[in-house]
Every structure is written in C-alpha cells, then in structure tokens.
Structure 1
C-alpha cells in the first residue's frame, strides 16, 4: 500500500513539473524598424556658376527649386544606414545685369553681349529644367524616430535637359528709361549639354536639412561657350 501511494505521489509530482513546461516553441517576434521618411524631398536654394568669366555680368538672387520622390532601402545588417534612389526635376534661374544672351543665334559660339551702353532688359535670365535620377547613401542616427533624428547623406544625380530658355522683361534704354514694357522668351537647347552628372550632399535634423550639389559636367557644350559648372546650396524639406 505504501508503495502504491509513493508511486502515485511520484507520478503526480512528475506530471506537475511537466505541466509547467510549454512544449510549444514560440518564435521571437521580428523587430522591424520604420523606414526613413525622406521619400518626398523639396529643395529651395541659391545657384551660381563656377568658372564664369569676368566679362559675364550676373546679378541678383539666382533661384533653384528641386523636387524628388525617392525609395529608401535600409541595410539589414545596420538599420542606421540605407540606400535610396528616385526621380524628380530640378530648375535653375540665373539672372544677368544689362546683358543679352542670344541662345537663338546662328553663331558658332554663344555670346554674352554687354548691353549697358544700349537698349537692354531690366530683368534677364537663363532658365533650365532637368529630369534627374538621384541616388544616396544615407545615415540616420535614430531610425526609430525619424522626425527627431540627425541625418546625413551623400550621393549623385544623373539628369537630362528638358528645357532651356531665356526670358527678358521690360526693355530699357541705356539711361534706365522704359522703351517697351513687354516680355520676350526664347527656347532652344542648341548650346547646352543634354546630360548632367552632379555630386550631392546634405546634413540636417528631422525634416529640415541643408544641402549642396555640384555639377561635374559643364552646362554648355565644349567649344560653344565658357566651361561653366553650376553649383547649388540651400534648405531642404523632407517627409512622407
């Protein structure tokens, strides 16, 4: 009788211990970090021409505006780093002081004609629009909270010229008097390089950054105009 009671006690204790163990294997939930929110990028900046000869008189605030949509691919080995690629457009407006740039000229080279001693436009600019594909290597200090994180990115962008034109407003005489208050616009890509490669970089916190870009390829075709490489810097807003 004692043996039966003892054996029953052992079985009950063993069943109790076994019941404490969960034989089901529960996989650990995967920890996924949100991707960088820098999908939509808007850039507002100042652009200038590196290599501009002294004979070319630029003036005013040369505006630039860029807009891109980019796809971000975080590194599995380190979520602080990611690669991004996208597409968008960039626009640049460079203004001149009492200078006429005749991009429709049949001349073998592009002339920047000083018109300070004759009729000239009060406002005159060259405007370009590029379709671009940017690529970036990104670092995000806090990928779990993108809106409160230090960020840095370096990369490049490849572009093709969509439009190049000049625009003159209000024709004046050499004394500054109005001769004719009208607007003239000429479109042609003859003197411009059709493709452009630029180096890029940016640094910031949250959705606000400062950025810069430098064109490796000249703006104008070789032998047709001075070797000018545009560069741009300004502020950037990012989101989505």
Structure 2
C-alpha cells in the first residue's frame, strides 16, 4: 500500500512540473500600448485615403467674347392696358406702347453667361377711349374726371369723337440682369432677362379726332389736343421680364406705382406686353 502511494505522488509531481514548463514557454499576450494603437489608426487612415479615388474638378468653360458687342439698341412694341381703371373710363382699341433704348452690356467675370444691361431711351404709351374722355386739362378739378360728352368742335350735335387717345411719354432708364445659354453667339442664343424700368414723365396729352353725331357722321374734320401733367405721377417704376431667341423675343412689364398722383383718382397700374428686338 505504501508503495502505491509513493508512486502516485511521483506522477502528480511530474505532471505539475510539465504544465509549469509549458506556461513559462507561452506567456499571455501583453496589451498594446497607446503608441502602438496610434500607429495602427494612422496606417488605417493612410490606406483608406490611398484607396479613395477623387475625380478631378471640371475646368470652368470660357467663351470667346471678343466679337460680342458691348452696346446695342432695343426696340419694343407692346399692347397696353390699365389695371384698376375707374368704372367711368371705357378703354377700347389698339392701345399700344413704343419704346426705344440704347443699352450697354457688362458681362460677369465669374460666369460669362450672366451680364448686366443698363440703358436710356424713350417710352411712349397710347390708350384709346370709347365715348369717355379724360379731362387732363381741367385745372379746377382736384381729381381726373372722364367726360361722356364732346367738348369742343362739332357743335351741339356732336355725340362722340371718331378717335380719342391719351398719350404719356417718359424718359426711361432700363436695367436688366441677363442670362444667355451661348454668350459668344448672342444672335442665335436663347436669352432671359429680368429687370426694371425707372421712367420720368416728360409729357401727357390727349388727342381727339373728328367729332361725330349719333349716326356716326363726321361733323368736322378737326384735331383737338390738350396737354397737362397735373394729375399724373412724375415717375414710374415698372418691373420687366424678357425672353428672346436671337434678336427677336417677347417682353412684359407691370408698373408698380400708380399712374395717377395720390388723391388724383383711382390707383391705376399700366401694364404692357409684346414683341422686342434686341441684339443682346
């Protein structure tokens, strides 16, 4: 019995020594230091940057504007009417405007498709009335009145005028922000513009032609004119829009301030739209 006990103790001691020797030969891995971690992060970032493909920036297109004119003329023919006209005014006929401007063009350096247009010229609006006649020279009135009877030639049998129109003439300063799809070939390109016209009233007058009787017979071949600016605003502010293809296009404008002075009658806002001819 004693012999077996000694043998078991010897085996246990030998086994313990073998496991101790293996543990000494394979020590547990040590945790990575802070320096090693930073190196690994930097290496990972470098690898990610190397694997990321960046597209080169597209070069900005440059147009040759050496043959593009810096100045040009602009002509507008439009149909005119009034918003907010008084009930006593009957507007009828081919109301129209004729505008003629000399313009200068200033392309943007940041984007040659954009430019600023500034000019000066004359603008004229003609509004036709049917059997109602604005009395612009009635100096005893505080507001603009619209008569329904003929005052002047033709005698007592006169019922109406064959034609009667109100003309307002302005010195206009148009300003536009322009965009062209092909700024190097403005005579062919699509063009878009928004802007405004600042106008200064230089004349306002009425023109009556040939008084007629109830049956439409001419009673006298006369032309009567009256001129006065007393009821009209001295300036206008009219936002504009224009779309063109080459030299021909269409335009629109709406006067933001009233045609008549404050206290001189209804707030009347002229508007116009039509055809425009312009080099730029």
Q: Which bracket does the TM-score occupy, shorter chain normalised?
A: 0.7 to 0.9
1:104 maps to what in 2?
137
Please identify which structure carries the higher helix content.
Answer: 2
- Give the distance between the partners of 2:216 and 2:254, measured in 1 at CA: 36
Instruction: Say if 1:37 and 1:146, in contact at 8 Å, map to a contact too.
Output: no
- What is the aligned partner in structure 2 of residue 147 from structure 1? 187
Between structures 1 and 2, the one with greater strand share = 1
Q: Residue 187 of structure 2: SS of its match in structure 1?
A: helix
Structure-1 residue corresponding to 2:27: none
- Separation in 1 of the partners of 2:78 and 2:70? 22
Q: In structure 1, what is the equivalent of residue 109 of structure 2?
A: 76
1:207 to 247, 268, 279: 247
In structure 2, relative to structure 1, the CA distance for the partners of 1:121 and 1:32 (3 Å cut) is same
SS of the equivalent of 1:136 reads strand
Give the structure, 1 or 2, with the largest relative contact order (CA under 8 Å, sep 6 or more): 1
The structure that has the greater radius of gyration is 2
The TM-score, its normalising length taken from structure 2, stands at 0.71
Gaps of 5+ in 2: 1-61, 151-156
**Aligned counterparts of 2:216 and 2:78: Cα–Cα separation in 1:** 30
Residue equivalent to 1:51 = 84
CA distance in 2, matches of 1:67, 1:213: 15
Q: What residue number does 1:226 align with?
A: 266
Whole-angstrom CA distance in 1 between matches of 2:111 and 2:98? 33
Q: Quick one: distance in 2 between partners of 1:156 and 1:90?
A: 13
Aligned length: 211
Partner of 1:173: 213
